[in-house]
Structure 1
Amino acid sequence: MNMPLQSQTLEHTGHPARTRQPGPCGLHLVLAVLMAGWISMAGSAQSDGQDVPRLEAKCLDRLKPVDRQAIDSITGWKLPEIPGTIKWYNQGDLEIDSLDGKVIVIQSWTNGHSAARRMPLKVHKILSDVEDDDLVLLALHTPADGSKLEAFLERAEIPMPIMLDRKGTYCDALGVYRQPVNIVVDRNGVVRGGGIKATALPDVVKMLLAEERDPDAEVRQLPTEDPMDKVEFPEFKDRISNARDLRGRRAPDMWVDEWLTPTPNADNKVVVLDFWATWCPPCRASIPHMNTLSQKFANDVCAVGLSDERESNFEQGLRKHNLKARDFKYSLALDPNKRMKDAFQIRGIPHVVVISSDWIVRWQGHPMNLSESILNQIVTANQDLASRGGRPGPKPRWNKG
């Protein structure tokens, strides 16, 4: 699991990071037969669910790494049950069991902007030549702009059943977030992939329709209990005055515009994110302390100094204060658009955020107040977390808790 820290490529996949040139998703997804050049025999993959052939990477849309990982994490598992909180349009309530033996395409969408609101009609048109009574198309409306859906449907006709997921429960179960994606399910009720290119979708659907349902197939359901929920982290109650207090809550997605040092690997590590700038005297004064923490906990901590300066200003600031890259024993990155700073609503720097490997904020405050004792408590709990492993499947993003 973990936060992917990336620039041009990914060291690993996990919670989201964005850069100017996102790297490849690293997937080698294949299906069991050759069809229209979209399928290969490179093998199959398994994420503790059913061992199923996977879609080849070239037939997949380019998604944010976190979106691709979410879809990949549900592939091979049984399609989750549709929760009772779903509101249906163009169709009475459906249950997954009633769709046994069908091939299902679920298209996520929202009526909030033009590109997304066209997705159901686009998928319907793309698959219009696939004439088979065993094909079921479902449009899953995300919570975004859900309150406007009924008004939208008064002036637009969507020729398929629509699910309005007002609370985001089903979207979280499927790994669906704000970017519209499709999810394909085979006759055994197993998710076979998603985020498929429009040009490849008809061939993928035809291939799934050509497969026979196997009544003896072992179809595994995602477990509902997460062993990581039982890990106890220390709690800190000190007042946070210059940023949004997110302790105990999921951290915002990680955004990095440019890495100034080699891309770090945060696998199963605690992330110490230091918001700073070269022009800030207290920030510069904290560098030796940050170096000490980074070196002492080198095996368990990924420390990152994140500045919102532009590269030219950052380099000028380093020269002005006689700082060099070798003076930092931790990673450095730039976010000139202040995405991360704004996400934490930071009003003063330096400000450090400590995030465990399940991407929950565990500590916030001035870097000089982050003692070795505090960090050691968090690291110890995180080691327990890493040893347990997490519940497979997508991590919730609509209901972060």
Structure 2
Amino acid sequence: MPDQRMPEHRSPGRRVRALAAGLTLVLFTTVFSLDYTVKRGDTLGKIAKDHGVTVSELARVNNISNPNLIYPGQVLIIPGTETEQPAQEQPKEVVHVVKSGETLAKIAAIYKTTINAIAQANKISNVNLIYPGQKLVIPASAPTGGGTTDSSKRTDRYHVVKQGESLAKIASLYPGVSAQQIARVNGIIDGVIYAGTRLFLDGPVYEPKGGGAQVTYVVKSGDRLADIAKAHKTTVEAIVSLNGITNPNLIRVGQKLIISGSAWVCPLESASFFNDWGFPRSGGRYHEGNDLFAPKGTPVRAPVSGTVKQVVGSIGGNQVNLVGDDGVTYLGSHLDKFGKSGRVNAGDIIGYVGNTGNAAGTSPHLHFGMYLNGVVINPYPVLVENGCR
């Protein structure tokens, strides 16, 4: 999708946020907070006292290691008052008994979930090794077929969550819409929703497929399948399967191997983030992506192979638009500086974390957005599924 049709990420200087403070079996807490710009002469103690919070709370929320070091113009998140609302009741989990000839891919397709989701739920380290009679737990967030009307298109129907509402209650307000459908199209994987958040009622759901086409690799002296697999971010099993290898320990110099495309790569490793999709912004707008926090200068990597275009603007600052080979366009804003552009492979460095554009004064972070067929979608489930924190 041309970048001209993708609005740059906007982040007003003073805005309301909702932060997840906790989740129990009975309730979860939603915290409303404000941004405060540090003035000359301010101390963390004075700011905390003026807003009725503690210094330690301010330091924790803003990742401040030294409470005595703040500076004029710095933007701080001020935690607000806590309110309670009932937690979303989760659907019961489904157990599938593996039949002869079945694969995880086939089972995932039956339940409209992903291979990774089933593998994680059952602690499967090798997705190619399952056996007849094995009992697999299908994640509760996965639909079990029927009853949903989500599609590859979005009608732009949405609901703004009110205090005390659950997904089930919201779904009951709209004929033909289920709680599972709302969860899927908004990337809600734990049942937690926040008052004030915009939730779409329909739209596409993305499942990562990896972003690299198949390539041919010529075996060199000293190569091992394990080393080749690691270098290409794939598995020995995948290479063996693609090339009909009967003995993984026997490969020869000059042998040509077909290597599957690279897996989905975390754009920012060990980042701090949560599901802030749909949070309210100034001017009646809503957050269309996730903010991933990391130290300034942390490398940002291409999640898939594709083509990168670099853009500089007053809102998104230094921004990259990656048109991925998987059919998704990825957006990364507020970079400190750019990395590789043009044709890139999954894992290539395409930028470095910063706070350029209208994020100046905030903690360094990457605004990460995803667009599927021109429709913005929530990156959160993909980030979590691929272990990006």
* Shorter-normalised TM range: under 0.3
Normalization by structure 2: what TM-score?
0.21
Question: Higher RCO, 1 or 2 (CA under 8 Å, sep at least 6)?
Answer: 1
Answer 1 or 2: which has greater helix percent. 1
